Structure 1
Amino acid sequence: MKNGTSEALNNLENSQLNVSQCCKATLDNLKEKPWKAIFKKIAHNWRTRNRLSQLNEAQLKDIGLTAADVDHEVNKALWK
């Protein structure tokens, strides 16, 4: 029983360490990118994906995209 308890504690410590590292990485990333730039990127992505979704098949063919390509791009998160 003692081994199970120590293994559970090790697993908990490892998961807390992973969460801590993830949070630190996210905070470091946010510090690197100013909020204004992030909002600009979101607005740009929204505008361009909105326009892309309005193109017809002939226009998509002209730029070398398929409806599946458009669907994949339009369904991405705005910040990506």
Structure 2
Amino acid sequence: MKNCTSEEINNLENSQIEIANNCKNALAKLKTNTWKQRLAKIAHNWRTRSRLSRLDDAQLKDIGLTAADVDHEVNKSLWK
């Protein structure tokens, strides 16, 4: 069995701490994503996609989008 150096042990411990912190952050984010926030996101997506669909070709060109890009975005589910 290989003996680990103190640096390797520290790296391993830091990696484990980082993974634990990432898990905690992900769980905290899930808990804060309430139904009100989901509804607000749906409303936001509906408004922005509605406005996007009304832009003409010159306006789309100004922002670097094509009609196909707009069609793809507008046809997504509102919760995505």
Q: What TM-score range do you get, normalising by the shorter chain?
A: 0.5 to 0.7
User: Which structure dedicates a bigger proportion of its chain to helix?
Assistant: 1
TM-score normalised by the chain length of structure 1: 0.61
Give deviations 1:8-43, integer Å, cap 9, x for gaps: xxxxxxxxxxxxxxxxxxxx9xx6320000000000
The runs of at least 4 consecutive aligned structure 1 residues that moved more than 6 Å come to none
Find the aligned partners of 1:43 and 1:63 in 2 and give their Cα distance. 23
Deviation at 1:75, TM superposition (A): 0.1
Q: In the alignment, which residue of structure 2 is the partner of 1:64?
A: 64
**Which 5+ residue runs of structure 2 have no aligned equivalent?**
1-26
After superposition, the CA RMSD in angstroms is 1.4
TM-score normalised by the chain length of structure 2: 0.61
Length, aligned pairs only = 51
Find the aligned partners of 2:37 and 2:72 in 1 and give their Cα distance. 24
**Which 5+ residue runs of structure 1 have no aligned equivalent?**
1-27
- After superposition, residues 4-43 of structure 1 pair within 5 angstroms as 32=31, 33-43=33-43
Code of the residue aligned with 1:54 in structure 2: it is R
Code of the residue aligned with 1:74 in structure 2: it is V
